[in-house]
A = this chain, B = another copy of it.
Amino acid sequence: MLLRDEDDDDKCDLILDQYLPYRMAVIAHLMSTGFSKRYSKDFDMTIGEWRVMANLGHLEPQSGHEIGAHSHLDKVQISRAVARLEKKGWIQREGDTVDRRRNLLTLTPEGRRVFNSIGKMALDFEDDVSASLSTEEYAALDRILRKLSKRAESLI
């Protein structure tokens, strides 16, 4: 993409502020902490718990394994998030009678209310963040993130 002297062993023109993976990490972190700082008074939830809830809010029931596949959480994170959410009374687990290794997870009515409430705040927050972009820019970002995501997945 950019020309640079590949074979000069004495210097390297990497500048952190201009380095894409760093920029992505910083913005993701700003968004995550920005949201949780704004709304931390309203709830107390880890990122893993929130992703489990959001998955179930969208589709129920799902097993931990299914949620993991859709939320970029590993099985340990899922297991712990599920345990905490169950203790809070926000999700229920029921053994799958067909495959008894699996747990089928659903939101409780209370968990659904929590999901709706946080979900709305999250969508408001997203609106707030993306208010800095024009409609065209938003669409371009969507397309670009799709490509980057696909590409980054293939590099794992």
* C-alpha gap A1/B26 in the complex (Å): 23
Q: Establish whether residues B28 and A126, one from each chain, have CB atoms under 8 Å apart when the complex forms.
A: no
Check B27–A149 contact: CB distance below 8 A: yes
Whether the pair A16, B133 counts as a contact (CB closer than 8 A) is no
Chain A residues within 8 Å of B, Cβ to Cβ: 1-2, 4, 6, 9-17, 19-35, 37-38, 47, 51, 54-55, 57-58, 70-72, 113, 115-116, 119-120, 122-123, 125-133, 135, 137-138, 140-141, 143-145, 147-153, 155-156
Chain A interface helix/strand/loop/mixed = helix
* Residues on B with beta carbons closer than 8 Å to the beta carbon of A138: 1
> CB-nearest residue of chain B relative to A47?
B25
